[in-house]
Chain A
């Protein structure tokens, strides 16, 4: 079974530029998470989807971040415009109705 897939793995951009990250969850997983992980810290939830519905986006900075999961499968997280402080690893995870969630490899974003 393929795991959670994320792309790109690494991204370097200049501040004020837009950037987008893509996630393909494990097949059949209805729940999809986007997390932000700063160096030396635990993952922090940005947004959670149940199928195509964003059910928890309270931690998403909506002035510059947006996300979508149009068909309830893969998802895109966008930042526009990026700021220096957005440099971090962006993790995607998916889950079924059980407790366990599975993480993707993450996208390491560097904003210069």
Chain B
């Protein structure tokens, strides 16, 4: 069946450094790739997304890249801050469907 692998499961970085989280999907029909940030005890919130017709999208300190050939997409956070500490989930969804397949999450810790 479809799955999304996410790495690493935990990531610690010093404040100001960059963080990269990678996901690999299996369903070649996937064309929408959102990233969610979930703080402890709170709801997952969409922070950025990308569709398969673009290779990169940036929003201030956050960027997402997509390699359709390799079925990889990555989240890049630059100039990390303590408030970036949370669990980040990637997901993939195929065109014409409403089914999201989530990765297992990455716990990011930004050390002050």
Q: Of the listed stretches B11-19, B53-61, B66-74, B93-101, name the one at the interface; the rest are far from the partner chain.
A: B93-101
B98 touches A103 (CB 8 A): no
CB distance from A88 to the nearest CB of B (A): 14
B102 touches A99 (CB 8 A): no
Name the interface residues of B13-55: CB closer than 8 Å to any CB of A. 32, 34, 36, 41-46, 49, 51
CB distance from B38 to the nearest CB of A (A): 9
Residue in contact with A91 in the complex, picked from B43, B91, B98, B104, CB distance below 8 Å: B43
Interface of A: prevailing SS: strand
B103 touches A42 (CB 8 A): yes
A45 touches B99 (CB 8 A): yes
CB distance from B97 to the nearest CB of A (A): 9
Name the interface residues of B66-112: CB closer than 8 Å to any CB of A. 87, 89, 91, 93, 98-100, 102-105, 107
- Nearest residue, chain B, Cβ from A48: B98
A selection of 22 A-B contacts at a CB cut-off of 8 Å is A3-B43, A33-B100, A40-B87, A41-B104, A42-B89, A42-B91, A42-B103, A42-B105, A43-B100, A43-B102, A44-B102, A45-B99, A48-B99, A56-B98, A56-B99, A99-B32, A99-B49, A99-B93, A100-B46, A103-B43, A103-B44, A108-B41
